[in-house]
Structure 1
Amino acid sequence: MNFPVYFYLGSLRIHPHVLFESIAYTVALRLVLRNARKDIISPPQRTSIIVGGMLGAIVGAKVLVLLQHINLLEQNPQLFLLLLLQGKTVVGAILGAVIGVEITKKIIGITRSTGDVFVYPLIIGTAIGRIGCFLTGLSDRTYGIATTLPWGVDFGDGIRRHPTQLYEIIFLIILLIFIHFRSRYQYQEGDLFKFYLVCYLSFRFLIDFIKPDFHIFWGMSAIQIACLCAIIYYSRSIPQMFQLKS
């Protein structure tokens, strides 16, 4: 397999990252809008929350990707604009969206939890997006470190690496199945989103140890530090997540 793996529509050549990212955003948005119909929150309030989350996601994705690659910026400050325009990270987008939603809720006076409707869209959208990351290859910078395991993938530089994008897709599928069966039980409003958030950030914290990222503090990358801070913050809610009543 040669990376990037382009797709063709007639004479039009489509980059895999652009294709699957577009599909991911489209599917996730459709799922959010479908789930929102069942929500008690009024449509204008839900629209405000979605917009607030999107703005927070954009800011969070950019800020964290700059911190993640701060070593590259020190070596070549001219990369700042390139990273600002093209760089992004899922963890930064998720945490930025959470902050954006909470700020929006404060402004419009909503006190109840609103995150559960985003769980399935986030899982499915992220999994679809990771397909594009995998097919993009080296330039996406989401691959793992070198490995001798039989499923290691050569993304084009002659080195077999952990296909961490595929690991994440597999994890998300397992998480989706688990949450689907868990959702048959009653739980407090907002616990589903917190459960998803803790699970996904814990996975990212662990999997990033086998990524060749710049580790700025205690052997951790900026993404791992962000994950750890969020996990610690939500750890007080973990016992409540498992107190399910049938």
Structure 2
Amino acid sequence: MFVPTMPLPFGFLPSFGASPAFYLSGYCTGVLAFAWLAKRRGLSTAGVWSVALVGLFGGLIGANLSQLIASGGKEPGKSVLGGIIGGYLCVHLYKRRIGLTRPLGDLFAFALSAGEAVGRWGCFFGECCYGRETDHAAWWSVYQHGAERYPTQVYMSVVSAAIFATLVVLEKRRSLPENGLFYVQGLLACTARFAIEYYRTAAPVSLGLTAAQWACLAGVAFFGGMLARMMQTSRQTLEAAS
């Protein structure tokens, strides 16, 4: 039975109904964030929304398939990292097929961070993605799976909300070239997940790091490298024009 040891703003929701409700709310929030930025940039077209739909289904397939593989079919659930990879691959292939060349990464960055900020509460109430045991009960710990644990689902929700707020500020300042927000979101999300993974239960696979942490390191290298390359290209373009 789920008995949290800290006050919850949504305590009126029964545990069996809260998890699906927040998962659904997370998807809806992501769609709304996508729609807001698409409208703001004049990209709310049928073609763009078809790409969004492909990304959603690709993400769902990747999230479920990666969790199935990682757990050997023993634990149901979804992997956020697997969902991102699945969605990215499907979007990339679909855009090539329809001949769409304009970058849409910023729209997905908004959707991912906003959706995860809400959807992680589905993990919290569903008692998945839980943290490792703490040495003692504290006001911030939660009682899940027979022990006091770090509320890592809440950590991810708060981090995702902070990333989303950062993206909104950068968007309003127009301080990055197109697709820059996508690289910022990926860099921040991978960095945060790497740190939070220390408080989760996954066993290390090599050099004291878990599989998720190795994936995050690869993500940091990729997103950080792409962001640095983009900023350098933008700076050179401005210098050439001046």
Same fold (TM over 0.5): yes
- Residue 135 of structure 2 aligns with which residue? 148
Alpha-carbon distance between aligned partners in 1 of 2:160 and 2:29, rounded to the nearest angstrom: 16
Contact 2:131 2:200 in 1 (8 A): yes
Q: Secondary structure at the match of 1:111?
A: coil
Contact 1:52 1:101 in 2 (8 A): yes
Pairing partner for 2:149 from 161, 165, 181 = 161
| Cα 1:178/1:26, change in 2 over 3 Å | closer
- Residue 91 of structure 2 aligns with which residue? 101
Give runs of aligned pairs for residues 70-219 of structure 1, distance below 5 A. Answer: 73=72, 80=73, 83=75, 86-137=76-127, 140=128, 142-148=129-135, 150=138, 151-157=140-146, 159-183=147-171, 184-219=173-208
**How far 1:164 moved relative to its partner?**
0.6
- Residue 231 of structure 1 aligns with which residue? 220
Higher mean Cα deviation, 163-172 or 47-56?
47-56
Pairing partner for 1:220 from 209, 221, 234 = 209
Alpha-carbon distance between aligned partners in 1 of 2:77 and 2:126, rounded to the nearest angstrom: 14
- Structure 2 spans left out of the alignment, 5+ residues: 5-10, 236-242
Q: Percent of counterpart pairs with the same letter?
A: 26
Q: Secondary structure at the match of 2:93?
A: helix
**How far 1:92 moved relative to its partner?**
1.2
Alpha-carbon distance between aligned partners in 2 of 1:35 and 1:173, rounded to the nearest angstrom: 16
Length-normalised TM-score, structure 1: 0.78
Q: Which amino acid aligns with 1:97?
A: G
Alpha-carbon distance between aligned partners in 1 of 2:64 and 2:213, rounded to the nearest angstrom: 16
CA RMSD, Structure 1 to Structure 2 (Å): 2.7
Alpha-carbon distance between aligned partners in 1 of 2:221 and 2:175, rounded to the nearest angstrom: 25
**How far 1:120 moved relative to its partner?**
2.5
| Cα 1:228/1:66, change in 2 over 3 Å | farther
Alpha-carbon distance between aligned partners in 2 of 1:56 and 1:166, rounded to the nearest angstrom: 25
Length-normalised TM-score, structure 2: 0.79
Alpha-carbon distance between aligned partners in 2 of 1:115 and 1:48, rounded to the nearest angstrom: 14
**How far 1:7 moved relative to its partner?**
2.7
Q: Number of matched residues?
A: 224
Q: Secondary structure at the match of 1:154?
A: strand
